[in-house]
Amino acid sequence: MTAEAAQGYDVRSARPKRADARRNYERLLAEARTAFTEHGTDVALEDIARRAGVGIGTLYRHFPNRTALIGAVFYGELDALLARSRELARAPQPCRALIDWLRAVIDHAGTYRGLSRAFLCAAAEGSAELTRCSEPIHRAGSALLTRAQQAGSVRADVEIADLMQLTNAIALAVEQSPDDPGLADRLLTLTFTGLKAR
């Protein structure tokens, strides 16, 4: 989802959305956020439309598919993750800052059951909707990774795309093991054992 779409513009026609269309869009996003939190990203789109008080056709006019809706919900919540990355960019230990950032990404992905799987699939399929969401995250993570590499803490051949794939995989593993609260930290520790500069 683009910034223009988030601000109430109809990207396809390059015109501002009508007030009623903007209200429907915002209601759909709010209900999708609630439904994804309560039931996961596989919840029926018809249920989201019904909860928003609109028909399924209205939902599809705003979001042509499930991935577009997931992307729109996630895009609207990037600010907190990006603010955290800016805060960590000033932390005294670059490697610790990178680990803390990845932990924040894992925690955020855990807000919605199925989000990690959606991002893993999007990476494999080249989904435009979720790619637009992941780009700011990749840029933020890349800055932290570069800083850790320049400090000599992380191997020079590590790339942010691979690191984000690993992070999504960890988030998915955590989602599948709700009774193991220490799993994310253990897997991140194992990951960084392999990433450390020799």
Residue-wise pLDDT for 39-90, tens only, equals 888 899 999 999 999 999 999 999 998 888 988 888 877 888 899 999 999 9
* Alpha-helical runs (H) found in the chain: 3-6, 19-39, 45-52, 56-62, 66-75, 78-88, 94-109, 115-125, 128-150, 160-176, 183-195
Do 154 and 196 touch, CB atoms closer than 8 A? yes
Mark the ranges of the chain whose per-residue pLDDT is less than 50.
Answer: 1-15
Torsion sign across C-alpha atoms 158, 160, 164, 167: positive
Cut 0.85: pTM above it: no
pLDDT on residue 17: 62
Judge whether 106 and 174 are in contact, CB under 8 Å: yes
Q: Determine the pLDDT at residue 3.
A: 38
Rounded Cα–Cα distance for residues 92 and 4 (Å)? 36
- Whole-number Å distance between alpha carbons of 177 and 12: 41
Which pLDDT value is given to residue 102? 94
Q: What pLDDT, on the 0 to 100 scale, is given for residue 10?
A: 41
